[in-house]
Amino acid sequence: MADGKLPGSRRELQRLHRFAEAMPKVELHIHLEGSIRPETALALARRHGIRLPADDPAGLQEWFRFRDFLHFIDVYVALSDLLRTPEDFEFIIVELGRELARQNIRYAEVTFTAYTHLGWQQKGLTPEDILAGLDAGRAAIRRQFGVEIVWIIDIPRNLSFSRTTGLYNGRASMPTVDIALAWREHGVAALGLGGYEIGAPPEPFAQAFDRARAGGLHSVPHAGEHVGPEGVWGAIRSLQAERIGHGVRAIEDPALVAYLVEEQIPLEICPTSNIRLGVYPDFASHPLRRFWEAGAYVTVNSDDPPLFNTTLNQEYRVLVNEFGFDANELEQVSLNALRASFLPESQKDELERAFRQEFIRLRRELALVD
What whole-number distance in Å separates Cα of residue 97 and Cα of residue 95? Answer: 5
Would residue 305 count as lying in a domain? Answer: yes
Which range of residues forms the domain containing residue 294?
10-365
Best CA proximity match to 306, nearest among 130, 117, 135, 64:
64
Pairing of strands 298-300, 244-246: unpaired
Contacts of 247 (CB under 8 A, 6+ apart): 223, 224, 225, 232, 260, 267, 268, 269
Neighbours of 166 (CB within 10 A): 9
Give the residues of the chain that fall short of pLDDT 70: 1-8, 120-121, 369-370
Would residue 328 count as lying in a domain? Answer: yes
What whole-number distance in Å separates Cα of residue 249 and Cα of residue 287? Answer: 9
Residue 6: the pLDDT is 47
Cβ pair 322, 4 in contact under 8 A: yes
Residue 370: the pLDDT is 62
**Residue-wise pLDDT tens digits, 323-351:** 999 999 999 999 999 999 999 999 999 99
Would residue 2 count as lying in a domain? Answer: no
Pairing of strands 267-269, 244-246: parallel
Residue 263: the pLDDT is 98
- Vertex 315, ends 251 and 340: CA angle to 5°? 65
Would residue 91 count as lying in a domain? Answer: yes
What whole-number distance in Å separates Cα of residue 277 and Cα of residue 66? Answer: 7
Would residue 161 count as lying in a domain? Answer: yes
Number of domains comprising the chain = 1
What whole-number distance in Å separates Cα of residue 187 and Cα of residue 63? Answer: 33
Residue 4: the pLDDT is 47
What angle, rounded to 10 degrees, do the helices at 173-182 and 206-214 form? Answer: 10
Cβ pair 9, 318 in contact under 8 A: no
Contacts of 124 (CB under 8 A, 6+ apart): 84
What whole-number distance in Å separates Cα of residue 237 and Cα of residue 136? Answer: 37
CB-facing half-sphere around the CA of 230: CA atoms within 13 A: 8
Which secondary structure element, helix H or strand E, spans residue 29, and what is its range?
A: strand 25-31
Would residue 120 count as lying in a domain? Answer: yes
Q: What is the pTM of this model?
A: 0.95
Chain centre distance of CA 1: 24
- Catalytic positions are 225
The CATH number for 346's domain is 3.20.20.140
Would residue 293 count as lying in a domain? Answer: yes
Would residue 165 count as lying in a domain? Answer: yes
What whole-number distance in Å separates Cα of residue 285 and Cα of residue 323? Answer: 11
Cβ pair 125, 84 in contact under 8 A: yes
Residue 17: the pLDDT is 96
What whole-number distance in Å separates Cα of residue 155 and Cα of residue 115? Answer: 7
Cβ pair 220, 191 in contact under 8 A: yes
